[in-house]
Amino acid sequence: MVTAAALCALPPRQAVRLVQAELEAAGCPDADFDARELYRLATGRDSRLDDSLSAEEGQKLAELTARRAGREPLQYLAGSWDFLDFTLRVGPGVLCPRADSEVVCETAIELLQGKPAPEVLDLCAGTGCLGLGIKRFVPGARVRCLEMSEEAWPYLTENAAHALPSGTVEPVRGDVKTFWQQIPEGSLDLIISNPPYLTAEEMAHRMPETAREPEMALDGGEDGLDFYRCILRHYRRALVPGGALVLEIGCAQARDVLGLAAGEGWQNTACRKDYGGNDRVILAYRGKEE
Ligand code: GLN
């Protein structure tokens, strides 16, 4: 166990190596990156600077190291995390924004180019990263972010109020399974969602960090597809003819989700990969003539 005294006796770079070794021993996947991040959190400084740790900073770093070695997500320890070019509040009770989701947001932003004031709905919004990302790059958009969880709600409302320098999104408390009943037909230009999509098998074998994230944000039912079935069945009529649906998927779900979309009558469906080369985004449209 790394102690404050041991950390304070070392130059910063070696203190970081000691933290890294502790995190590696605990099985943390990116121990090098995490060690440098924890140093920055504890001191407010970069570990490449020579200033040695104060007793208080050493104490803070020892505590953060113990918590990370206990596999608390780094994002929760940091309390905030970057998504695209802005920063979101994050913590226990809400799904951490992930780099995988950036391409989902970028796809929607691309589709909205040339539309001055599109109406957008983000389903299962969590921190609001997808909806806020759209608002950030399509400032004329009117974006509503639906979230059901009481624990996630404070993060969404705070991010809606503060994450962007200008403009905001409207948080809406509600359940994706019934919210479609309240949307007038043909009133939305785009729906985006990163719904829960882990299978029962994946839920049972989550990484320790993911096991600290809310089940409600991850559990997609036995085959991981429950929310896709719901969204694909009930939300097409909410879109204007020609309107788009942009869904994040798990990397092995493209075929199933494309099949469900076709079965429900969606048009021009397509799949896009993330920057890791994994299938990540499903695109589907309401027919122009429908
Ligand atoms: N991408 C997340 C994971 O693999 C899952 C997010 C989700 O279910 N929407 O842990």
**pLDDT score of 31:** 98
**Relative to the CA of 218, which ligand 1 atom is closest?**
8
Instruction: Give residue 198 CA to ligand 1 midpoint distance, Å.
Output: 6
Where residue 57 sits, what CATH number does that domain have? 1.10.8
Residue numbers of the chain with a pLDDT score lower than 70: none
Where residue 230 sits, what CATH number does that domain have? 3.40.50.150
**Relative to the CA of 198, which ligand 1 atom is closest?**
8
pTM score of the predicted model: 0.96
> Considering 70, 90, 108, which residue would you say is the last residue of a domain?
70
Instruction: Give residue 57 CA to ligand 1 midpoint distance, Å.
Output: 34
- Alpha-carbon torsion 95, 113, 249, 274, what sign? negative
Indicate whether residue 199 lines ligand 1 (CB < 6 A). Answer: no
Domain that holds residue 211: 80-285
CA atoms within 13 A on the CB side of 273: 4
**pLDDT score of 27:** 98
Look at residue 263 and tell me if it is in a domain: yes
**pLDDT score of 165:** 85
> Considering 70, 89, 120, which residue would you say is the last residue of a domain?
70
- Of 68, 35, 71, the closest CA to residue 210 belongs to 71
Give pLDDT tens digits for 199-226: 999 999 999 999 999 999 999 999 999 9
> Considering 70, 90, 115, which residue would you say is the last residue of a domain?
70
**Relative to the CA of 98, which ligand 1 atom is closest?**
1
Give pLDDT tens digits for 158-192: 999 999 988 899 999 999 999 999 999 999 999 99
* Count of structural domains, the chain: 2
- Pair (148, 29) in one structural domain: no
Indicate whether residue 253 lines ligand 1 (CB < 6 A). Answer: no
73: enclosing H helix or E strand: none
